[in-house]
Amino acid sequence: MLAELRVEHLYYRHDSIAVQVDRAAKFHEKYGETHLLHPACMSSSSDATEGKKDFKTINPGAVGGMPSTDSIDPEDLDVAKQISDLCTFIYQYGSDRQKTRAMLCHIYHHALHDRFLEARDLLLMSHLQETIPVAGDISTMILFNRMMVTIGLAAFRLGKIWDAHQCLSDICSGRVRELLAQGVAAGRFSDKSPEQEKAEKRRQIPYHQHINLDLLEACHLISAMLLEVPNMAAAGVDESRRSRIISRTFRKYHDMYDRQVFTGPPEMTRDFVMTATKALMKGDWKKCSDLLNTLDVWNLVAGDNSADEIKVMLTEKIKQTGLRTYLLAFSSQYDSLSLSQLCSMFEMGKNEVHSVVSKMMINRDLVASWDQPTETIVMRKIEPSALQVLALQFAEKATNLVDANERLLDAKTGNYGYKDTENWRGGGGNQGSHFQGRGNFGGSGQSRGFRSGGRGGGRGGGRGSGGGRGRSGGRGGRGSGRLRPVRNNNNNNNNKGNRW
């Protein structure tokens, strides 16, 4: 269908690019090929000689002036209406696959021009996120991934950080190039056949339709940073929030950056974001803002003054995140906080600070109240009740039990992937390993394998001979280890212990 081809040739172009392309087409239609025009009419002085008929001083080719199509009004080139009409025609007469692709192109074009709400409504009403995984058409899946990334970038440009992270997290957590068909994974141990590799190369997107991966990574990591930094600050104070992770990819990069012995000046986009994260966690929001605003990827965003608008939005979001992080991390150290002091610290207006703090109070992130006459925030220190203390203790014991079961399973199956830094050594040691400080999951100082039981039971265990009860609460075993069987000839008891 020609309408489908027409849509797929229009949907990825921003209006600023579409105007220039259409002007070039009008120029070619009116004047023909540029290289066939006389050089005199293409010179910079041709406009000054327009209308003069003195051929002794000017070249006859410059009499008509420089050819131009500036008279074309950009408002007459309504690409959005053109795509909408073409998609409506496809919705009426196209097949199911054509309708799906037309809908994806329509959503992509809305998101490309920052019409986030229209794109989101079309996506939710069409239920494409439910039908695409079972469609079986790889090219349509690639178009769906491109559409989701574009919606995420549009949400980021509009300051909708949570929506941007939700749209970008799935794509940016894995193989971005393959999911967007912008490159082939050069794996050394690839299990793809030559025919599959050729088919994958044929599915690659042309270069002029590529989405810049540095810009994509910057938007994803910055949105994750603005969500994770307050969460990590609250987890350091509130025990119940430690297990809540918003972005595992960001946490992984942050842990890798923390483990580096020496960190030089940032070079890549990821390094800039990680350095800005460290500054924001220390409360230096100005350094964080300067680092992120100096990224060159903002100049790649299409549209007039888009880079400046993004930098202003980022500065405001960093201020709000810095305020939330400060209150979550240090609110327990204060009895009250002055509104004017917070305004001066973060260079925000009173209404903005009041809005951020009130939202934290509503969401139970900050246990405090406003004292309107003095414009102060009064902190409320609430101690947990007896039931809450018991619930926390029960959760901690359940966690310890799960860890113990993982250790037992690893020891039984011979898998040493799980290791505890304090109490677990894969294969015994000079001092017998302990299970929560007691019991005998290890041999004596002379044993190298896993041996169950103990002559005295007790704290460190024995050599594996059958023994009596120890403080660990279990019976000594016969000393048969699964990794290193030990024959015990002195075992005269009939006690049956755990066998490893």
Q: Mean pLDDT throughout 245-254?
A: 89
CA pair distance 399, 492, nearest whole angstrom: 39
Query: Does pLDDT of 443 surpass 80?
Result: no
Query: Coil, strand or helix: which one is 276?
Result: helix
- 158-167 pLDDT per residue, tens: 999 999 999 9
CA pair distance 471, 468, nearest whole angstrom: 10
Max Cα distance, the chain (Å)? 127
CA pair distance 185, 176, nearest whole angstrom: 10
User: Which pLDDT does position 294 carry in this prediction?
Assistant: 92
Among residues 272, 302, 306, the alpha carbon closest in space to that of 290 is found at: 272
- Beta-bridge mates of residue 485: 480
**Average pLDDT in the chain:** 78
Among residues 140, 165, 170, the alpha carbon closest in space to that of 152 is found at: 165
306-330 vs 269-281: helix crossing angle, rounded to 10: 40
CB 17, CB 208: distance < 8 Å? no
User: Which pLDDT does position 76 carry in this prediction?
Assistant: 62
Give per-residue burial for 102-117: e unless 16+ CB within 10 Å, then b.
Answer: bbbbbbbbbbbbbbbe
Give the model's confidence band at 292: pLDDT under 50 very low, under 70 low, under 90 confident, else very high.
very high
Could you tell me the strand order of the sheet in which 336-338 lies?
336-338, 376-379, 368-371
Query: Does pLDDT of 307 surpass 50?
Result: yes
User: Which pLDDT does position 173 carry in this prediction?
Assistant: 82
| Residue that has been written with the tokens 């906080």 in this structure | 337
CB 69, CB 20: distance < 8 Å? no
Distance from the Cα of residue 141 to its chain's centroid: 20
161-172 vs 138-157: helix crossing angle, rounded to 10: 150
Residue 430: phi, psi to the nearest 5? -70, -30
CB-count exposure of residue 151 (10 Å: 0-12, 13-18, 19+): buried
Q: How far apart are the first and last CA of the chain?
A: 69
Residue 162: phi, psi to the nearest 5? -65, -45
- 350-365 pLDDT per residue, tens: 999 999 999 999 988 8
Query: Does pLDDT of 175 surpass 50?
Result: yes
CB-count exposure of residue 125 (10 Å: 0-12, 13-18, 19+): exposed
CA angle at 355 for the pair 351 and 356, rounded to the nearest 5°: 120
Q: Mean pLDDT throughout 334-343?
A: 90
Query: Does pLDDT of 470 surpass 80?
Result: no
Query: Does pLDDT of 439 surpass 50?
Result: no
CB 321, CB 360: distance < 8 Å? no
Six-digit token string for 127: 């239920």
Query: Does pLDDT of 275 surpass 70?
Result: yes
Query: Does pLDDT of 223 surpass 50?
Result: yes
User: Which pLDDT does position 387 carry in this prediction?
Assistant: 87
Query: Does pLDDT of 211 surpass 60?
Result: yes
CA pair distance 343, 112, nearest whole angstrom: 36
Query: Does pLDDT of 423 surpass 80?
Result: no
Query: Does pLDDT of 289 surpass 70?
Result: yes
Give the model's confidence band at 458: pLDDT under 50 very low, under 70 low, under 90 confident, else very high.
very low
CB 277, CB 224: distance < 8 Å? no
Please tell me what DSSP assigns to residue 385: P
Task: Considering only residues 391 and 48, tell me which one the structure prediction assigns the higher pLDDT.
Answer: 391
- 94-122 pLDDT per residue, tens: 999 999 999 999 999 999 999 999 999 99
Residues in the chain: 500
Number of Cβ atoms within 10 Å of the Cβ of 463? 18
- 360-401 pLDDT per residue, tens: 999 888 888 898 889 899 988 776 678 878 888 898 899 889
User: Which pLDDT does position 26 carry in this prediction?
Assistant: 80
* This model's pTM is above 0.85: no
Task: Considering only residues 256 and 33, tell me which one the structure prediction assigns the higher pLDDT.
Answer: 256
- 399-417 pLDDT per residue, tens: 889 888 888 887 777 655 4
Cα distances from 374 to residues 281, 336, 378, in angstroms, run 29, 11, 10
User: Which pLDDT does position 293 carry in this prediction?
Assistant: 93
The H-or-E segment that residue 326 falls in is: helix 306-330
DSSP codes of every residue in 59-90:
-GGGTT-----TTS-GGG--HHHHHHHHHHHH
Q: Report the range of poorest mean pLDDT among 4-8, 43-47, 210-214.
A: 43-47
Query: Coil, strand or helix: which one is 336?
Result: strand
CA pair distance 148, 111, nearest whole angstrom: 9
Cα dihedral sign for 78, 79, 80, 81? positive
Q: Mean pLDDT throughout 318-331?
A: 90
Query: Coil, strand or helix: which one is 96?
Result: helix
User: Which pLDDT does position 183 carry in this prediction?
Assistant: 85
User: Which pLDDT does position 465 carry in this prediction?
Assistant: 41
- Beta-bridge mates of residue 140: none
Please tell me what DSSP assigns to residue 463: S
Six-digit token string for 400: 């310890």
Among residues 121, 93, 90, the alpha carbon closest in space to that of 107 is found at: 121
Give the model's confidence band at 53: pLDDT under 50 very low, under 70 low, under 90 confident, else very high.
low
Q: Mean pLDDT throughout 45-54?
A: 51
- Beta-bridge mates of residue 123: none
Give the model's confidence band at 454: pLDDT under 50 very low, under 70 low, under 90 confident, else very high.
very low
Q: Report the range of poorest mean pLDDT among 19-33, 37-51, 275-289, 466-480.
A: 466-480
User: Which pLDDT does position 441 carry in this prediction?
Assistant: 37
Give the model's confidence band at 18: pLDDT under 50 very low, under 70 low, under 90 confident, else very high.
confident
Six-digit token string for 492: 């005269």
CA pair distance 364, 239, nearest whole angstrom: 15
Query: Does pLDDT of 190 surpass 50?
Result: yes
